[in-house]
Amino acid sequence: MAILFRTTKELESQIDEYLDSVSQGALVFKQGVMNYLDNDKDNLNEHIKNIGQLESRADELRRAIENRLYTHTLIPEHRGDVLGILESTDDVIDTMKETLNQFDIECPYIPEELNKNYFELTDMSVSASEALVQAARAFFRDVNAVKDHLHKVYFYEKEADRIGDKLKRKVFQLDLDLSLKFHLRYFALHIQMVSDRAEEVADRLAIYTIKRTI
Amino acid sequence: MLLIFLSSGLFLGWSLGANDAANIFGTAVGTKMVRFKTAALICGVFVILGAVIAGAGATETLGELGAVNAIAGSFMVALSAGFTIFWMTKLKLPVSTSQAIVGAIVGWNFFTGSPTDYSVLSKIVLTWIACPVLAAVFSMLIFALFKVILNGMRIHLLRIDLFNRTGLILVGAFGAFSLGANNIANVMGVFVPVAPFDEIRLFDMMSLSGAQQLFLLGGIAIALGVYTYSRRVMETVGGSLLKLSPQAALVVVLSQALVLFLFASQQLESWLMAHNLPTIPLVPVSSSQAVIGAVIGIGLLKGGRGIRYKVLGSIATGWITTPIIAGIITFISLFFLQNVFQQEVSRKVATQITKPAIMQIEKERYIHTVLDR
């Protein structure tokens, strides 16, 4: 029983640390995009390195948590759901890392008048991820509060879609090469993808929460 | 020879252990929250403890209903009850050991011409009805309390799991104790008046009466049933039949254990008596029906959706059919045992009506005559 008590305590802190990594990843992603828009290469590289570390740590923690949940047959009723939450949340930080890497590799040309739009889009996507992390935390500790955070995820995701659409229209109205317009559209899509991933996790969480309250 | 006669009771104990242990540890083992080995050990130990320490209360009530006074008779009463359970289970009818044994005892009374105390019989039948109702009330109260605690305290999902696991083991131990205390009467009750055991004293500190030695044997038979056959039943109950959340399972087991304890505890009875409160009859009740009552209680608390009311109807039918079938089977088999196998199934007891008794009867008659006017 003592082992079980220790395992439970350790697992609780591992889950907290995992969600911290995702949340911190979102903040680093936001800073990274800002650095790119400001042409601040040094800080961008630092943030790319940082988000890579956070993503690897999140992967490590996720595997450790899953392993422990199954070897100790903990939370048999909700094990599958917790696994679903952890794996889909991992996709959010993965997408952020990939997007930041693509900025570094492809170095898209962003006209200055679009900076504000890209920043707004990033801000909305990051807000969606942060609200999602809060919802996931609530799932573990205060299941009745999950929906208070989920509606924010949905709101920010819709906003990100709206801002993304506006951005793409603006891009295609500019006097630029078509290839450049495509490139800019792809980057808008990449950033939007972060909020889409957050929405996918939110959908799962909504169902799992109903299951927990029954 | 004694062991041969006791075998029917031991078989009854074995089948009780095989089936009813699942009511206590079914969900815990089925959902893999507690390992079968752990569950079986706790269940076995506490069933024996419950039987030996607190088994006397419910047994006394069965004795008041009919004191089977020849060992061959006891053998056949237990065997007939066992056969009724086997047969009704095969026909997929709801059945409980408590109801079968009561029917069988009344069958013995009829066969031997012994009087049946109808006030005791009605007390027993009322208790059967009260058992699932009380379990439902308990489960509703405890479940509501759990909900308030879980919602108010914001406990981590994993910590709830840990508390639940610990709770299932503790409540399981209590449930096993109550099962042993309450249901040992079904297994060994009919042998108590004829048990030829002398009191054993252990290290001058404790003693085991003849009845307690019988209960120990019965408890061991139940524990054997748990070890040898309950695993599959537990896995079926936990895995497929009852889809309960671990918290609900804990509430169900606790409510069932409380009900069985209430109907078995002599300590509680004497405490109630000492405080001039109405006492609870000590009667063997069905743990399965307590479980069903508790599950329905939780269902009602959730708005009553998905409750299969047909189950309730079939339980109520069982209260009537099981004792009647067991009684008839006992009557017929006692006839064969006495007339074909030439065994003594009862001993005639000479009753002397004393003078005070005659005076009492006359006094009561006088009261009746006055009342009739």
CA angle A57, A58, A59 (to 5 degrees): 90
Cα–Cα distance for residue pair A82/B5, rounded to 1 Å: 56
> Which residue of B154, B155, B157 is in closest CB contact with A75?
B157
- The answer on pLDDT for B200 being more than 80 is no
Domain ranges of chain B: 2-346
What average pLDDT does the segment B155-182 reach? 92
Model confidence over B76-100: pLDDT tens digits? 889 999 888 888 877 777 778 888 9
Residues of A in contact with B159 (CB under 8 A): 8, 12
- The answer to whether the Cβ–Cβ distance between B162 and A5 falls below 8 Å is yes
- Please check whether residue B69 touches A, CB under 8 A: no
Asked whether the beta carbons of B312 and B296 are under 8 A apart, the reply is yes
Q: pLDDT per residue over A37-96, tens digit each?
A: 999 999 999 999 999 999 999 999 999 999 999 888 788 888 899 999 999 999 999 999
The answer to whether the CB atoms of A77 and B166 lie below 8 A apart is no
Whether residue B204 is predicted with pLDDT greater than 60 in this model: the reply is yes
ipTM over 0.90: no
Q: Give the nearest partner residue to A78 out of B32, B157, B162, using CB atoms.
A: B157
Q: Could A73 and B33 be called an inter-chain contact, meaning their C-beta atoms sit closer than 8 Å?
A: yes
Any A CB within 8 A of B32 CB: yes
Query: Who among B155, B158, B245 is closest to A74 (CB)?
Result: B158
**B12 and B97 in contact (C-beta within 8 Å)?**
yes
pLDDT at B320: 85
Identify whether the C-beta of residue B107 lies closer than 8 Å to the C-beta of residue B330.
yes
Query: B212-265 pLDDT, tens per residue?
Result: 888 999 999 999 999 998 887 777 665 544 567 788 889 999 999 999 999 998
- Please give the C-alpha separations between residue A166 and each of A7, A126, B282, in angstroms, as whole numbers: 49, 18, 78
DSSP state of A107: -
Are the beta carbons of B136 and B294 closer than 8 angstroms?
yes
- Chain B residue at shortest CA distance from A8: B158
Beta carbons of A74 and B31 less than 8 Å apart: no
B305 touches chain A (CB under 8 A): no
Q: How far apart are CA B130 and CA B123, in angstroms?
A: 10
Determine the Cα–Cα distance for residues B345 and B73; give it in Å rounded to an integer: 4
Of the candidates B263, B337, B326, the residue with the CA atom closest to the CA atom of residue B293: B263
Mean pLDDT of A173-182: 95
* Interchain contact, B158 vs A75, CB within 8 Å: yes
Cβ–Cβ under 8 Å, residues B184 and B59: yes
pTM, to two decimals: 0.81
Inter-chain CB proximity A12 and B158 less than 8 Å: yes
Distance (Å, whole) CA B43 – CA B40 = 5
Q: Does position B277 have pLDDT exceeding 50, yes or no? A: yes
pLDDT surpasses 80 at B61: yes
Other Cβ atoms less than 10 A from the Cβ of B333: the count is 20
Instruction: Show the 3-state SS of chain B.
Output: CHHHHHHHHHHHHHHHHHHHHHHHHHHHHHCCCCCHHHHHHHHHHHHHHHHHHHCHHHHHHHHHHCCCCCHHHHHHHHHHHHHHHHHHHHCCCCCCHHHHHHHHHHHHHHHHCCCCCHHHHHHHHHHHHHHHHHHHHHHHHHHHHHHHHHHHHCCCHHHHHHHHHHHHHHHHHHHHHHHHHHHHHHHHHHHHHHCCCCCEEECCCEEECHHHHHHHHHHHHHHHHHHHHHHHHHHHHHHHHCCCCHHHHHHHHHHHHHHHHHCCCHHHHHHHHHCCCCCCCCCCCCHHHHHHHHHHHHHHHCCCCCCCHHHHHHHHHHHHHHHHHHHHHHHHHHHHHHHCCCCCCCCCCCCCCCHHHHHHHHHHHHHHHHHHC
State which residue of chain A sits closest to B164, comparing Cα positions.
Answer: A75
Tell me the pLDDT tens digit for each residue of B119-139: 889 988 899 889 999 999 999
Of all residues in chain B, the one with the smallest CA distance to A142 is B154
